Each structure stands twice: as structure tokens, then as C-alpha cells.
Structure 1
Amino acid sequence: MGKRRRVAERRRTTGPVLVGGVIALVVGGAGFAVYALTGGGAAADDRAPATAGHKTVKTGPLTAAEVRTASARFLTAWQQGRLAEAAAATDDTSAATRVLDGVAKDAHVKDVTLTPAAAKGDTVPFSVKATVSYQKLSKPLAYASSLTVVRRASDGKPLVDWRPSVVHPDLKDGDTLVTGESGTPPIKALDRDGGELTAAKYPSLGTVLDGLRDKYGKTAGGRAGIELRVVRGKASQKAGLSDKTLVELSKGTPGTVKTTLSPAVQAAAEQQVAKQKRASVVVLRPSTGEILAAANTDHGFNVAFQGSLAPGSTMKIVTSTMLFEKKLITPDASHPCPKTYKLAGWTFHNDDDSEIKKGTFKQSFGASCNNAFIDFAPKLSNSDLTKEAQQVYGLGMDNWAIGVPSFDGSVPVQSGAQMGASLIGQGGVRMNPLNMASVAATVESGAFHQPYLVSPDVDHRTLAKAARTMSAKTQSQLKDVMRFTADYGTAAKAMAGMSGDYGAKTGSAEVDGQKKPNGWFTAYKGDLAAAGVVQAGGHGGDTAGPIVAALLKMGG
């Protein structure tokens, strides 16, 4: 169901227009607006020059009339059940036919009423009201969607730009809508205190609850109900997306799945991420790996567990572990941080082109001075950082089994300048808040404990283990530099007022095409560890830092 190339810049217009001097007429039917257009074309029409034996191909931006006509042709045909005609009104007839036929035959959706809103440029929002009927059961279905009109390259004809999300916003390539007895019984997810977890109470948990049902629904003792569901295709499954219930026609009997989530910490995490755009956070218990909270500002994709983002300078915790273990540096050793450093043809800069001429490694860690780390690159092999991340922190092994889909981080073997960039969490390094909370937790406890949301006792699965444990000396050195950062470095503002055993590290990760970097923050306090990211938020100490610190102050 691939996308078709757009061949013209789109004209941004809204509202009704005159077409050849004739007003577009609304002639309704079943609550749907159908536009009857007559007369000549819009004055702004552009046509490629005609040559002998060739038809004139219209080019140029779409007119408002063309957008109205093309969208009305598709929506009218769909509403009236003329699905072949609706599919032919798109730029991918075969793909559209499969999805539209599936909605009628497999999803058992009927009595469709489509109501378009005012176009926004070439995009037309519309509402859908229908009935889902299966055997003797029926339930109403209502949602909002949108379509975009494009000009076909071969003949200039305006058509609906086909994508499955036109039919339903939750549909992606390869997904289907199906009504019937669900293959997986529902589950009742419980927090660690026995209270029920719902997406209504904890909005961030929608994808988590879907994942729990996928994994435990068939073994938790429930009985399937009749539902309209999005059944994920191979591409969506590979992306870690779970099936999703849209309408429940008859309730099944849910099985019960207990999680490690803390109701108080989860509620606080939801409140904290709501203060920022595109924020995500995870809280763990270092002594066990239990996940106490996971929250995201945006609820469509679980960045907290499944994100794959450069972690920036929070990765310097792993880099420092390697440097300490190799005895290349100690926290209090003199180690300047030059303003620039050249490696394999690249020139690396520090934030704001700062430098530390006479200072210790601890001061460079606390100030997050990049070149104090990159200048170790000539003393390292290409695989050293990868081995450290895998063997001590359990990262990048693709073997975590937390109870729902997750990404375990990636630290690929790289060479030259890219290897140097990896030392400061750029290059090919990819993490999410779950991974970086685990890094802080490993420092706090001295050993890797694979994070988990559902106890392995529930299904007797084996949790991942690290190949080795850092020495007590290395742990002490890491706690030293992280405590310094929390008290005097880039994390000091966020961690102000903290007491007990604590440490932190900030990060800012540059992203191509993004004005501000992603802001990262990871820290521990007692038997709590947390990490957060605010995408395009700027410096981690100012954005993700307050979120993480507020959750750590809840106690541990």
C-alpha cells in the first residue's frame, strides 16, 4: 500500500469558491455533503502544453474545487456501499479495495454515514458514524479521520492519496479490522497494590494494557468476548504494536494480570509528563528491576519502553564505566577538556564551545564536557563500548522480557569518528527512558537487574542477565562523579534539595533537522532510579530533569 509521489506544490485555500461562475451546491443524502460542480475550470488551472497525439495533462497546485470534488467522489461512494467506485477514486485502487472490502465483510461495519468538514488546504477532515453488527449483536461506531487529495502524475487527475488510516486512524499498512470472538481474552491489569489499572485513569498505559493482553490474555484465565479490533499486520508487529479493541459488542470474562506498577508513582509520572510536550519517563526499583511507573505525554506510541533515540551525554555513564575499568582515568585525575578535538576528519565541539583547561575528569563529567571523553578514542578498540554496554549493563542484547514489547537499546560496533561520537551518546547509539533508567539503577545497586513489569513468577520466563558485574571500586567511582554532577554540575538545579544516596547525569542529543536537541536526564536516589527524555526540549537539566527529580523525591 505504498505512497504515490506528489507532483505539485499544494495551494493552501479554505472555504467555498466560485467554479466557472457557478457556486458549489450541497445536495445531501443521509447526512452527507455531496458537491455538484459545473461550468469551466478554475482560472488558475495550469496545463502542460499539448502536442500532437498526446492528451493535455493538468499540472500545478490543486484548486479548492478539485479537492472538494475528489473527496466527495470517494466519500459518497464509500457511504453508499459502492466500494469499487470508492477505491477507484484513490491513487491505489487495489490496496484501497482490500481495506474497504474488509471493513464491510470482516469488520461487519454497515450503515456508514460520512460527514466532511471544511478542507484545510488539500486535506479534508471527516467524521464517521456507523454500526458494527455481528450475529445478533450491534454497537455504534464513531470516530474522526481525514483524507488528502493529490494530483496523479500520469494524467493530472485529482485523487485521494490512499493510506489505510483514511478508513480508520489506527490502521497502518498490513493491518485489518475484524469483528468476531477475539482471539485473545481480555485481561484485568492490577497495580502492585491490587488496584485496577485502566487507560481512563492512567492515559499512558493504553499501549501497555494492549501489550499485556497480547502476552497474557490466553493464559490469565479469561474468556474471549465479541469485539471490533485492529489486528496488526507483520510491519506493525515488527514495530511492536499490539492489537487494539475499538468496540466491545459483548464482554468477555477477563483474566487477571498483576504488574509491578505503583499507583502513586504512576499517577505522579502522568502528571509530570503532562507539563512538557513529547516527554517520557520510567521509574525503576534498582534492587529488583521492578518497573514502578512509565508515562508519555503522547499516548499513541510508547516511547518510554519502545523509543529508539540517541541518549546524548547520559551515555557517558557507560563510557565512564569502561574508562574506570580499563584504568584509563580516575575521577580526581587531572584531565583537561579542549574546546575542539579532531578525530578521523571530524572536529568535535563542546556545548557552547566551552573548555576546561585545568580540571579533573570528575569536573568534565559534571560539566558534561564532550571532548574529555572523545579524546580517549585512540586508546580504545571499536568494540570496547559495545562490550561494556552488553556485559555490564545488559544493553543491546535483544533479550529483555519485561512483560510487554520493549526495545533493549543498541550500541553498535563503529569505527573512526562514529566510534568517537558513540562515547557521548551520539553516532549509532540508541536508547529509551527504560534503558537509561536501568543504567542509573545498575550504578546504584552495583549489578544489572533486568527491568520487568510482570513478575517472572507469573509465566516462568527467564530474565536477562549481564555477563559480569562491575567492581565495587568502579561502582564507587561512578557514584562519585554522578553525585558531583547532582550537587555541582549540570544536574544541580533539578536535584536541589535531594538527600541521602543520590546521583544524576544530564544529556542533550542533537537530531538532524530539529532546532532543539532532545533533553535527557537519568538519576537515582536510594532504591529508586528514573530516566526521562523531552524530545526537542533542549538541555536535559531544564526539561527532563525536573520530571525525574520530582519522582525520585517521592522516596525510595
Structure 2
Amino acid sequence: MDSLADHTGVPVQGRGPRRKALRPAIAGAVVLAVAAGGAYAAGLGPFARDTGPDPAAGKQARAFLADWAAGRLPSAAGRTTSPGTAERVLDSFTAGLDLGRPELTAEPAVEAEDGTVTVPFTARMPVTGLGTWTYESKLPLREQGDGTWKVDWRLSLVHPRLSDTEKFRLEREETEPPEVTDRQGATLTGDEHPSLAPLMTRLGGGGGTDSGARGAIHLVDRVTGEVERTEARFGARTVRDDGPVRTTLDAGWQSAAEQALAAHADGKNAALVALRIDDGEILAVANSPASGFNRALSGTYAPGSTWKIVTSSALLLKDAVAPDDVVDCPKYLTVGKRFQNVELSEHPGATFRKDFTESCNTAFISLRDRLDDGELGDVARTYFGVGQEWHIGAPSYDGSVPVPKDETEKAASMIGQGRVQANPLIMASVTATAVSGTFHQPSLTDGTKDTTDTTPLPRDVVTQLREMLRATVTDGTAKILSDLPGEIGAKTGTAEVSDDQDNNGWLVAHRGNVAVACVVEEGVTGGGSAGPVVRGLLAAVPGDAE
């Protein structure tokens, strides 16, 4: 029973009583995740007051940003006053600048004296193979005759400098990727390992620098093409002359990871990371499709019930629960909105161990009051390094666990939803930390800088986590791995995306000295989608890398 929350999406209601101008909406800043689509963030908390701008206006703005972030451009355009033009511009902006899925962060809405509402936002646009272009813009909203709200379409909301006379142009400087070797010195190529092709130019500087790929985004005159200013520049202007880049990758694990995705991901967007538990060295990074955005290292996903490893750690650390304690698992639990379990399953009188192995959402949410509002994020940062700055040898997203803005979001964060953000790199590292007790900053190249500062988990907590992870394979939702050799522990996850998209499927596992994490977008369930991928990988590579 992984992460599912019953909610009503983002319909826009008519305007209520006039609210005072220039007051921020109670919803506050909302992060809209790239892969998660921001569906949860589009709802209001249960404690909204009848002051400030009409909540329906901010709700429509966040829904527009969620659709844009998730690539649902027709839906995003339909929330504007000019759907046809909006869809065309958003599509050409994305394609022309070779952008991956953005991260869009909405700020509080403000209302002007004339009744118009503005929602500022920060855009973090991943430019494929180069880096992230970050800028700020604003969404203007206007109330319609029927009382609903629409984004008042104009080019400048996409970017403040986009206009009828000026547009953006991406220019790349073609560079030869450096020679890259695996941990044994064997040459790695993009032909043999397609997932590595987009990554190789990012390894050009070694030790985490990005001297391989270079390029820029320019603001140009629409008629003459003349460059008026450079908005963003990517890559250093240095030349490598110090030989091959030696990575921590293992050619055998890399090949097995790519083959597992090709065979079992069913053509869906998916990503996988395998790393060594004792030192964090990355053995494999695989993406499906292999070209384009590196979901494995830079994706931002709700981790769903795989996050219950961190939640369990937080509860066990303060003796808030023990594995044999009875924590009921009902079908539903309402905390501002109704949360439920997959297939509406329930386990009356279940122990906390059973709640973990069966991934009971309602049981975990019922324990939320045993943690302080910021405690889950503190534990993630202090013991697991999540949210600290990692230097792995290539660009990466290092996770986020913000303090919940209300009780509903706190409930969601207990099961890896709300604004909790991770990716396969982070969740492989979380798994490695849980079963070893010590965080090791993941690394992809030699000589990476480590500025993290973490505390080891107590041995009794590690013992309890390992036992529950093992029980999830032998008696729980990860039975798909139960017939493989070795003492495997695992955790499944099903992460909600939006009302009109299937859930993402997750599975993390450990065996010997290796931890693995896999996500399959719209995989529906973790055991059913990510499970076969991880099983295929572990079956193909039965031993640890040297």
C-alpha cells in the first residue's frame, strides 16, 4: 500500500467576498516538482483564511505552472485567456531552447486595487546537456465574467524579456567528449552505454567541474537575429589535457542496468542508480530514454513510500514507535483531505513492522504528531545528507524536505509526498545509509569534494531498519525479489503525480555492498513496474563490484 492521496484536483471556483489588496495568500510559496507535476501543491491547505487575494486565483496560477512543468501544454494553455497562442508559444519555447522538465516555484499571490492578481514565480529550466537556466517572472490573472480566473496571456509571463520584437536562441559550442573509463580502467563509450553519452561531456573537468559542454542562451532581435544580450552561459572555457576521466562506474553493472531498463520499463520514462554502500561510489547510472534529461541524477520526484525509510528512522530515533508496537492501518485517514491505501487495503491491529512491509499510508500518517514539524527534514539532512550540497563529479539534484506549511502537507510528507523531492541517486544513497548507518557522499569521479556533514545512525536503528527491509522482501510488497540469491532488503513506493496521470512506481533495494534505486514514471505501482527492472539488474549481476 504505497502513496496514494484522494483529492479533487484543481477546479476553479467562483470569487467570494472581495479581499483586501496586496495581502499574500495563505498558501505561501509552493514548489512544483518536475516529474511529480505539482498536483499536490495545487491544493489549498485546510486553514486558509478569507483575507488576501481570492484563493481561486492563486490556485489557477499554481495549476497552470503544474501543467507547464509536467509538459501538459494543452492543459496549461487552456487555463489562459488565449489557449491557441499560449500552447504554440510554450511548445516552441521548450523545443527551441531544448528544455527538459522545469521546476517552477510559485510565490504568494498579491492583489492590486483594480482586482487583478499577480503570482510571481521562479523558473529553473534544465537545458539539455548544459545546465539549468534560472530566472524570475510573474503570472497575471484576471477574473472572468463567470467568476472564474484565467491567466491573462502575454509573452512576458514566459520570460520578462520575451516580446513581439525579441526572442531567445540557444547556441551550443560543439566539443569532443573526453575519454572516459570505468573503475577498472576499461574505456566507456556512448555507443556501448547509451545512458552515458549525454553525461560524458559533463565529466570533462573531472572532480565535479563541467568543462566539457559549453553554450549560451542569447536574447536576439526577431527580425535581424542580432544578439542583444546573453541571458545564460554554460560551461567553462578550458581544455582538458590531463588524460582520460576515470569514473567509479563498473562496465558490467552499467550494461546490466541499461539492459534491465530496456527489457522491463515498457518504454516508459525511467531511471536507475546503483552504488556501493561502503563508500558511495556509483556503479551504474541508467536512463530511459537514454538521451536527453538525466532523470537518475537530476530528476525531482516525490519518492512516495520509499521515503518511509527516512520517516521510520525519524520515529525510531526518538523511540516514538517500535517495530512490534500496534499501529492500526485503516483504509482511510482524513487530515484536511482524505488519504488512502493502494486498493483501499487495511490491516486492523497491524504492528509497525507490518505497516512498513505492507507500506500502509494511513498508519504512517497517524504517527505524524510524534514528530515535530521540521523533524523529518532535520533527520533527512543530519543522518542521510539529503538537502546538503553534494559534489558527485557531475551535475545532480540533492533533494529537498521543506518544513510543512500545514497539517495536510505534514501528513503527506510522512509518506514521501507533498513537497518532499528526491531521485534515484538520492534514494539509493538513503538505502545505503539506512543499512550501513553512515552516509557517504555519492561519487562518480575520482577526487570529488565532500562538504557534507552528517551523523551516523545508532546501531539499534540500523538493525531495525535492515530487519524491516528484509521482511518487505520475504513477507511484503517486494516479494518479486524473494527468489534471488543473497539477503536482499527492499522497499516499494507508489508516488502520486496528478489526477490525469498514473502514479510513478519506485523500488529501492540492497544486497551485499550495493544499493539500488529505480523509478518508472506512470508505472502505477512500485512492485509492478520498478520491481521487474531491479530484479533484472540483480539477476544479471549476482556479485558486488570490486
1:200 corresponding residue in structure 2? 191
Residue pairs, 1:241-280, within 5 angstroms? 255-275=243-263, 276=265, 277-280=268-271
Q: 1:349 aligns with which of 331, 340, 364?
A: 340
1:435 corresponding residue in structure 2? 426
Write out the 4+ residue segments of structure 1 that deviate beyond 6 Å after TM superposition: 59-62, 216-220, 237-244, 251-254
Question: 1:255 deviation in Å?
Answer: 2.7
User: Would you say 1:468 and 2:428 are equivalent positions?
Assistant: no
**What CA distance in whole angstroms lies between the structure 2 residues aligned with 1:274 and 1:241?**
31
Q: List runs of 5+ in structure 1 lacking aligned partners.
A: 1-8, 10-58, 63-89, 100-162, 164-171, 245-250
Q: 1:486 aligns with which of 461, 473, 487?
A: 473
SS at match of 2:490: strand
Identify if the C-alpha distance between structure 1 residues 416 and 217 changes in structure 2 by more than 3 Å, giving closer, same or farther.
Answer: closer
Residue pairs, 1:112-131, within 5 angstroms? none
User: Would you say 1:400 and 2:374 are equivalent positions?
Assistant: no
2:505 corresponding residue in structure 1? 519
- Equivalent pair of 1:280/1:295 in contact (CA under 8 Å): yes
Question: 1:416 deviation in Å?
Answer: 1.1
1:318 corresponding residue in structure 2? 310
- Greater RCO between the two (CA within 8 Å, min separation 6)? 2
Aligned residues with identical type, % of pairs: 39
SS at match of 2:526: coil
Identify if the C-alpha distance between structure 1 residues 255 and 319 changes in structure 2 by more than 3 Å, giving closer, same or farther.
Answer: same
For 1:516, the aligned partner's letter is: D
2:538 corresponding residue in structure 1? 552
For 1:305, the aligned partner's letter is: L
Question: 1:339 deviation in Å?
Answer: 1.6
- Equivalent pair of 1:175/1:231 in contact (CA under 8 Å): yes
Q: 1:540 aligns with which of 520, 526, 531?
A: 526
- Equivalent pair of 1:524/1:552 in contact (CA under 8 Å): no
1:110 corresponding residue in structure 2? none
- Equivalent pair of 2:185/2:246 in contact (CA under 8 Å): yes
User: Would you say 1:416 and 2:407 are equivalent positions?
Assistant: yes
- Equivalent pair of 1:421/1:427 in contact (CA under 8 Å): yes
**What CA distance in whole angstroms lies between the structure 2 residues aligned with 1:61 and 1:464?**
48
Q: Deviations over 1:222-268 (max 9, x none)?
A: xx9xxxx7614499x99998699xxxxxx996731100100000001
**What CA distance in whole angstroms lies between the structure 1 residues aligned with 2:83 and 2:485?**
65
For 1:368, the aligned partner's letter is: S
**What CA distance in whole angstroms lies between the structure 2 residues aligned with 1:336 and 1:217?**
47
Identify if the C-alpha distance between structure 1 residues 537 and 380 changes in structure 2 by more than 3 Å, giving closer, same or farther.
Answer: same
Question: 1:219 deviation in Å?
Answer: 11
Count of residue pairs the alignment pairs up = 373
Identify if the C-alpha distance between structure 1 residues 239 and 426 changes in structure 2 by more than 3 Å, giving closer, same or farther.
Answer: farther
User: Would you say 1:528 and 2:525 are equivalent positions?
Assistant: no
1:335 corresponding residue in structure 2? 327
Structure of greater Rg: 1
Q: 2:301 aligns with which of 287, 290, 309?
A: 309
1:231 corresponding residue in structure 2? 215
SS at match of 1:506: strand
Identify if the C-alpha distance between structure 1 residues 416 and 268 changes in structure 2 by more than 3 Å, giving closer, same or farther.
Answer: same
Question: 1:549 deviation in Å?
Answer: 2.7
**What CA distance in whole angstroms lies between the structure 1 residues aligned with 2:273 and 2:409?**
28
Residue pairs, 1:125-204, within 5 angstroms? 173=168, 175-178=170-173, 186-204=177-195
- Equivalent pair of 1:393/1:466 in contact (CA under 8 Å): no
**What CA distance in whole angstroms lies between the structure 1 residues aligned with 2:232 and 2:323?**
41
User: Would you say 1:382 and 2:373 are equivalent positions?
Assistant: yes
**What CA distance in whole angstroms lies between the structure 2 residues aligned with 1:305 and 1:377?**
30
Q: Deviations over 1:329-358 (max 9, x none)?
A: 111222211221122x22211111111112
Question: 1:515 deviation in Å?
Answer: 3.1
**What CA distance in whole angstroms lies between the structure 1 residues aligned with 2:279 and 2:301?**
25
Identify if the C-alpha distance between structure 1 residues 255 and 384 changes in structure 2 by more than 3 Å, giving closer, same or farther.
Answer: same
**What CA distance in whole angstroms lies between the structure 1 residues aligned with 2:339 and 2:477?**
20
Q: Deviations over 1:40-98 (max 9, x none)?
A: xxxxxxxxxxxxxxxxxxx9999xxxxxxxxxxxxxxxxxxxxxxxxxxx999xx9xx9
**What CA distance in whole angstroms lies between the structure 1 residues aligned with 2:396 and 2:341?**
32
Q: List runs of 5+ in structure 2 lacking aligned partners.
A: 1-73, 75-81, 98-157, 159-166, 220-229
Question: 1:516 deviation in Å?
Answer: 1.4
Q: Deviations over 1:176-195 (max 9, x none)?
A: 1447xx6xx75211111111
**What CA distance in whole angstroms lies between the structure 2 residues aligned with 1:533 and 1:304?**
8
Q: Deviations over 1:367-391 (max 9, x none)?
A: 1110110011122211010001000
* Root-mean-square deviation over aligned CA pairs: 3.5
* TM-score scaled by length of structure 2: 0.63
Q: Deviations over 1:10-51 (max 9, x none)?
A: xxxxxxxxxxxxxxxxxxxxxxxxxxxxxxxxxxxxxxxxxx
Question: 1:207 deviation in Å?
Answer: 2.2
Residue pairs, 1:60-75, within 5 angstroms? none
Q: 1:446 aligns with which of 437, 458, 465?
A: 437
